[in-house]
Amino acid sequence: MQEQWIPVAEFDGAYEISSIGRLKSCARPRKTKGGGIAYLPERIKIPGVKREGYAFFSLYKEARYKVMYLHRLVAIAFIHNPLNLPQVNHIDGNKLNNCASNLEWVSASDNCRHALETGLYTTAKGESAGNVTLTESDVLEIRRLAGSGMMQKDIAAMYPVNRQTITKIVNRQRWRHI
C-alpha cells in the first residue's frame, strides 16, 4: 500500500498523518521570543509510548499541547465510521501497528470481546489478583486440612478469612485454577 498523507483535523494544517501510521509536522512560520519569524521545517515526529503500550503525540495548537493517540489519528483520517463507533481496535492485537489497514472502529463491548478472544486481556487469578489475603500454598493447605476432617470454622480461625471463604475454597468456587 502506498503511503498517503492527510492533514490532521483541528490543527489548521500544522500536522499531517499517514496511512501507515506516521505523523509529520508541516513547515510553517513561528514567532520567536525576539518578535521575529522563524520557519520550522517539515519533519517526521517520533511518538512516545504510554504505559498501556499505545503510541501517542503531544500536538501543539494555540499555545497548548494536546495529547493524541496515533491509532485514533489514523482512524479519524482514513477509516470511515458511519455508525459513529467510539473506539479503535488494532485488528492484529499489536498496539504499535497503526497502519490504516490494521485498524477498525468498534463499540466498547466489541473491543473487549476482541481482546478476550485474542488473549490480549486475561483476568488475574490467584496471588496476582488485586489484594488477595491467601497464597496458593495456603489454599492447598486449607484443602488438605478440610480433606483430613478438620472443621471449616477451625480452619478459618487459622487464616485471616471467614468460614464462607473456606467453604468456597474447599468446594472449588474460589481458587479453582489450583
Please tell me the distance from the alpha carbon of residue 74 to that of residue 1, in angstroms, as a whole number: 15
Q: Mapping DSSP to helix (H, G, I), strand (E, B) and coil, where does residue 71 land? A: helix
Which residues, other chains included, contact 178 with Cβ-Cβ below 8 Å and sequence gap of 6+? 126, 136, 139, 140
Average pLDDT over residues 92-110: 96
Does residue 111 surpass a pLDDT of 80?
yes
Residue entry with cell 471449616? 152
Average pLDDT over residues 84-88: 97
What is the phi/psi pair of residue 137, to 5°? Answer: -70, -35
Q: pTM here?
A: 0.68
Please tell me the distance from the alpha carbon of residue 136 to that of residue 175, in angstroms, as a whole number: 8
What is the per-residue pLDDT across 19-55, written as a single tens digit (0 to 9) for each? 999 999 999 888 888 889 988 899 999 999 999 899 9
What percentage of the chain reaches a pLDDT higher than 90?
71
pLDDT value of residue 35: 86
Q: Bridge-partner residues for 59, per DSSP?
A: 66
* Average pLDDT of every residue of the chain: 92
- Alpha helices, DSSP H, located in the chain: 70-78, 108-117, 136-147, 152-158, 163-170
Domains and CATH numbers, the chain: 5-117 (3.90.75.20), 126-170 (no CATH)
What is the per-residue pLDDT across 116-161, written as a single tens digit (0 to 9) for each? 888 887 676 777 677 788 999 999 999 999 999 999 999 999 998 9
